[in-house]
Chain A
């Protein structure tokens, strides 16, 4: 059996080093092509006519005037009269024309008659006693969000039905995402109940109530009780490259799609059903993607519409890329989560009780509960969650779904508890690590390192006591947890007789460094330079590899590449062994040579070695997982700690982040540089959602008011302070295999920054983003203000 195991420290030349991304030159020079950049010969421009109302019924659609406009090539009605619209901006009619202005002109003359229905776009705290048991059908994201034991989730699915068609492709995808079989089975058998006004039920749906231990008794016995309100508003994904695709039919029954997607291998199966074409006849291609963050897993209405338009136009390519306002209004929303929390402890800081009444919205389906309390498994708990069903557009997975919200609520509550106990929160966290689950020892180690990097003990002062004039400084912290096991991945690696090497894999690089890690693993294993690897990804014709979600790509592609490279290498060894007159297992690939172990002079150059293959290249397929060929090269379960230092102007309410520290574990690191970049990017995104981002809905019109880059504020360069990233590596970490990193570091910034603000100004600001008005209002409510 070949030894697939990752090389140990002494035998690594590339793995774990700081290696620049292989696609950096293409990206900084503009040669990298994003889907948005694709211009096909004869390409038509698609426009989507969107509903201006947040809740309405389509009465009639008249496209006759649009059809008469010269240059209009196809019109497709996305939602027929009789359909109910549940959010403003939803697609109604799509038009393809020779250029964008013509498509827009045509869209303007389409007549759509709506019956306006009452809309509801608030996610404010539900009034008391209005929540009813949830009855509405479950969307995929609802099911993922249900924080219940597997059997109970399956029961909920059977009881409420599903709002999506559970096709074989959908079920296969859920399995790839590791949904437990009992739930997948329930989905397969559940009634299909599309979301309508009749099926959806109450605006306020009680989706979870849970009790553990004896919270009443524990509260009576508690020595210190802290109560507070915490939460996060809905934010949008705001992908720099908007959603969209170019669809064309080169043959009547063959679809070619350039798509901005997080899953090139998974799209075909999703398009097959709505387009009534075999998945085998669908090819999906993507070179580079400008951000997904969890919002680009699925096939959206506009993708299907573009394919229909192209078919109607005789197969000519049709491009639909969302405009910025549509991108923000309809193509991504992170569900909100808020909670009233009561947390109790003994005088020594031992946390005894957690009570929360939480609510939030994931749009028309309502959404599920975030995992509370986050990480700390408090012995006595009572929890209730109310899903607010409203017309703001459907929630989508956003980088570590539910975790950032859960961290903000939990860390905020514990931070207030620490203040009530007159304790440094760092001590409170340390004190309670015994209930922090499997990674508690990692947290302990990381908290120590983070505290040193932040100089926590030197800087920390009790609440509201670190002031210079109108400026108040404070420190905050948060811890987080994530899975990150590699998904299913197939990798084809070919060694050619001239020494060139190519790799084909149906994965995608979300900008996270996937290309780089594949190249590093192959180069390390074959002992050749990274530049010698010719890597092709981003096409569904290549061996399939999973959807990039759940931080599952790096573990997957590293493992499948390692296995392919080892197997290909061993084929090569069997040929070279005959020439060098040694058994193949006595050979090694080092520094561009194939040589005899312990006798480096007995060697062939890589090129000479490959020439021994004769005229035929060798191609092998590596797979992850591969239980018959141990060991497991990927792992699961990472812990991280983050600390923030902030400065708040208590006259203006403006918050500045002065420094952030991130200490992270992710198993064996393939490329330290891309890993560090991943953390830096997460901190920047975290500062942005902590301070600026919010989907602002107008209650009267039901529209999103800040669907542009002018009003949807994102952190700019000048808002980013000193960022310090430290990785846990070496013994205890490396041998856990390669584990994903995309999501974990974005979980804690909001919680670390908001607890730092509370420390600075002496009172918690309940909800993110921590805008000046919220900070000033919290100060005004502060006791004694």
Chain B
């Protein structure tokens, strides 16, 4: 059961931004609501005002242009999965999209919301905070139930894993995210959008409380070979245990450059410089693929011991 809140439905970006507070906690942006409503029900967030952005027409639409494909933040995952051009030119992304959650959720969940969803860490969701501690200040994850927690980028206090499945594919394609706030708009490479928080007052992405995500731009991928792979325990409606998205620029069978992104392994979608370097210049074979995989987890520091 959630607490009472005000509800506003602006019809323009500018109005929406004015309705958002400058500090996190008092207001939240509502789009598909598939994550936010659950967070409110669990009392993890308790905003006093919800700013519904679903009526803002500028945030919809999919536009194809010279710089690639521009996707409004309000497109639902289902709309994206159905988009012919996206399926033709960005097959790895299309692949990632069809496996997200369930049909019902894909029908309402938006692209912007998917990228800004909060971590699935069960300590966070139970109210122990994003950097979970008990009342005495003891780190709960390191000695706790961390089987689904980060194995890379986990040397700081953040131990959760970045939750978006499609972020990995988008980053592999070199996507950028467009953000608008009271100081105008800015564009950030999606892999720089995510960051590892060091303190409780930071979020896990580069967005201020009074900014909204407006658009995702994916550069043309005509010369790119890409694939997406995820491992999860259940056949359907389950979060992945691990995700890998790979985009290669090729010259014949030789790799010119590689972008390798692993999901659900670190507090951010994790680009593996080690694996990318290993592949650059090499010819793809089962052996090089295996070595790239090993390079990707070479520096992993799993927090968990073997279980029975």
Contact = CB atoms under 8 A, between A and B. Distances in A.
A541 to B, nearest CB: 34
Contact of A705 (B38, B126, B143): B126
B145 interface: yes
A707 B126 CA distance: 9
B237 A229 contact: no
B144 A716 contact: no
Most buried by B among A656, A701, A707, A772: A701
A766 B308 contact: yes
Contacts of B120: 710
Contacts of B1: 100-101, 104, 323
B222 interface: no
A706 B122 contact: yes
B236 A716 contact: yes
Interface in B220-253: 231-239, 241
Contact of B122 (A229, A705, A716, A771): A705
Contacts of A772: 231, 233, 241
Contacts of B236: 716-719
Interface stretch (A143-151, A308-316, A364-372, A692-700): A692-700
A69 interface: no
A777 B231 contact: no
A717 B103 CA distance: 14
A777 B143 contact: no
Interface in A207-251: 229
B134 interface: yes
A692 B234 CA distance: 9
Interface string B248-279: 00000000000000000000000000000000
Contacts of B239: 710
B99 to A, nearest CB: 11
B161 to A, nearest CB: 14
B142 to A, nearest CB: 10
A767 interface: yes
B306 interface: yes
A718 B234 CA distance: 8
Contacts of A718: 234-236
Given A100-B1, A104-B1, A716 B237 contact: yes
A652 B122 contact: no
Given A101-B3, A698-B145, A777 B307 contact: yes
A700 B144 contact: yes
Most buried by B among A100, A654, A705, A767: A705
A105 B138 CA distance: 30
Contacts of B38: 710
A602 B187 CA distance: 93
A698 B140 contact: yes
Contacts of B145: 696-698, 705
Contacts of A576: none
A52 to B, nearest CB: 9
B235 A716 contact: yes
Contacts of B307: 773-774, 777
Contacts of A780: 306
Interface string A145-175: 0000000000000000000000000000000
Contacts of B231: 652, 654, 772
A713 B126 contact: no
A28 to B, nearest CB: 19
A771 B233 contact: yes
Contacts of B147: 773
Interface string A358-381: 000000000000000000000000
A654 B306 contact: no
Q: Give the secondary structure class of B's interface.
A: loop
Given A699-B144, A772-B241, A719 B308 contact: no
Interface residues of A, number: 40
A691 B238 CA distance: 14
B4 interface: yes
Contacts of B24: none
A281 to B, nearest CB: 33
Given A767-B308, A780-B306, A719 B122 contact: no
Contact of A652 (B4, B134, B241): B241
A391 B178 CA distance: 49
B193 interface: no
A703 interface: yes
Given A101-B3, A692-B233, A717-B236, A711 B122 contact: yes
Nearest to A649: B231
B123 interface: yes
Nearest to A654: B233
Contacts of B308: 229, 766-767, 774, 777
Nearest to B235: A718
B243 to A, nearest CB: 12
A700 B4 contact: no
Interface in A749-767: 766-767
A106 to B, nearest CB: 12
Interface string A725-741: 00000000000000000
Nearest to A719: B235
Interface in B114-157: 120, 122-123, 125-126, 128, 134, 138, 140, 143-145, 147
B298 to A, nearest CB: 17
A516 B304 CA distance: 51
Given A766-B308, A772-B241, A773-B307, A701 B128 contact: yes
A700 B306 contact: no
A79 to B, nearest CB: 21
Contacts of A100: 1
B4 A777 contact: no
B46 to A, nearest CB: 10
24 contacts: A101-B3, A105-B3, A652-B231, A654-B232, A656-B235, A691-B233, A692-B233, A697-B145, A698-B145, A700-B144, A701-B128, A701-B140, A703-B126, A707-B126, A708-B42, A710-B125, A716-B234, A716-B238, A717-B236, A718-B235, A767-B308, A777-B306, A777-B307, A780-B306
Interface of A: 100-101, 104-105, 229, 323, 325, 652, 654, 656, 691-692, 696-701, 703, 705-708, 710-711, 713, 715-719, 766-767, 771-774, 777, 780-781
Given A716-B236, A719-B235, A772-B233, 18 more contacts: A101-B3, A104-B3, A652-B231, A656-B235, A699-B144, A703-B126, A708-B42, A711-B122, A715-B234, A716-B235, A718-B236, A766-B308, A767-B308, A772-B231, A773-B307, A777-B308, A780-B306, A781-B306
Interface of B: 1, 3-4, 38, 42, 120, 122-123, 125-126, 128, 134, 138, 140, 143-145, 147, 231-239, 241, 304, 306-308
Of all A-B residue pairs in the complex, the 5 with the closest CB atoms, nearest first, are A718-B235, A718-B236, A705-B122, A777-B306, A652-B231
